[in-house]
Amino acid sequence: MIISIGNDHAGTHHKKQVQLTLESKGIKVINHGTDSDESVDYPDLAHPVAEDVKNKKANLGIVICGSGNGVAMTANKHSDIRAAICWSKEMASLAREHNDANIISIPARFVSIEETKQIIEVFLNTSFEGGRHKRRTEKINIK
């Protein structure tokens, strides 16, 4: 599995721990995020993650900023991207099962690093149910 990850300055500490955890499990990580606490513009890191997922360079994506909103809004500008802001394991599970989310957006100012790792674990290990949900997700992109 290959995961593309991006974060702004508010998500640096979360990203570093998530990356270490993923790599310890043998998951390849493409890092588009900053490794600094200095202010950066979140679109500059969210767009490359969305492109990696869209172009199948990565199986799934993770974006992290303070609220999760900016990076999710940016990623969702790309066709075939379904970025979901998740602050609980239940949200992550439903985002995958019902919405076929391919990028998870983490609000670093609202969840701990440990919670973040658990949320991402659920996201990565949950599959899309298809069925009636597939019909709905096929209506998302504007043609």
How many independent structural domains does the chain possess?
1
pLDDT at residue 94, as a whole number:
98
pLDDT band at 135 (very low <50, low <70, confident <90, very high): confident
Report pLDDT digits (tens) over 58-100. 999 999 999 999 999 999 999 999 999 999 999 999 999 999 9
Report pLDDT digits (tens) over 44-55. 999 999 999 999
Count Cβ atoms below 10 Å from residue 70 Cβ, excluding itself.
Answer: 18
Looking at the annotation, which residues are catalytic?
Answer: 65, 98
CATH number at residue 90: 3.40.1400.10
Does 8 reside within a domain?
yes
Q: How far from 64 is each of 43, 122, 132, CA to CA, in Å?
A: 11, 16, 30
pLDDT at residue 4, as a whole number:
99
Residue 140 has pLDDT above 90, yes or no: no
